[in-house]
Amino acid sequence: YPKTLGGILPMIEIYTDGSCIGNGKENAVGGAAFVVVKNEEKIYQESYGSKNTTNQRMELLAAATACEYVKREKVTECVAVYSDSAYLINCYKQEWWINWQNNGWKNSQKQPVANKDLWERIIPFFSDSNFIFKKVKGHSKNNTKAAYWNNMVDNLAVAASNLQKREENYER
């Protein structure tokens, strides 16, 4: 668990997810969601929609907003952030962000890093020893705590995407 605390509880767990209807297409709409869990109980949840987005942006937005929520609430416990986004977790574990910053926000193909604005919100938490980011299997049907919470945030993110889509259609 957290880098400097060796798994000592108390622990806050955050489960995050993003979704996108029409991912990669013009006018795609998305949803992002997170739940905050303490002692196996949900203590907070949030979800929201977004226009003209991608699934990766929604995954990152959920993580950024969740971490900012915990910071704003002055949570003192260690925080484990769970995501089914390989993009987010690989960036954390493989420290891609360090090279991005050192290379003027260019990726390994010398292209601008996608979603820089969201990465800049998340990266401070990568360096915070009270935070750890862990991969959770998405859309799992197994009977585990991680599957339960991940499926919950997936449902919240999909519902936010659908609501955004309905609002988009209403505006036309």
Could you read off the pLDDT of 105-142 as tens digits, one per residue? 999 899 999 999 999 999 999 999 899 999 998 776 77
| Planar angle of CA 28, 168, 16, nearest 5 degrees | 55
Q: Mind giving me the DSSP string for 80-142?
A: EEEE--HHHHHHHHHTHHHHHHHTTSB-TTSSBPTTHHHHHHHHHHHS-TTEEEEE--TT--S
End-to-end CA distance of the chain: 48
- Look at residues 64, 49, 66 and name the one whose alpha carbon lies nearest to residue 158: 49
What are the beta bridge partners of residue 50? 30
Does the pLDDT at position 2 exceed 50?
A: no
* Cα separation, 71 vs 36, whole angstroms: 12
**Count of C-beta atoms within a 10 Å radius of residue 134:** 14
pLDDT tens track for 21-52: 999 898 899 999 999 999 889 999 999 999 99
Q: For position 76, what pLDDT does the model report?
A: 83
pLDDT bucket at 3, cuts 50 / 70 / 90: very low
Maximum separation of any 2 CA atoms in the chain, in Å? 53
* Cα separation, 68 vs 38, whole angstroms: 17
Please indicate, yes or no, whether the overall pTM of this predicted structure exceeds 0.75.
Answer: yes
Contact 16, 59 (CB under 8 A): yes
pLDDT bucket at 92, cuts 50 / 70 / 90: very high
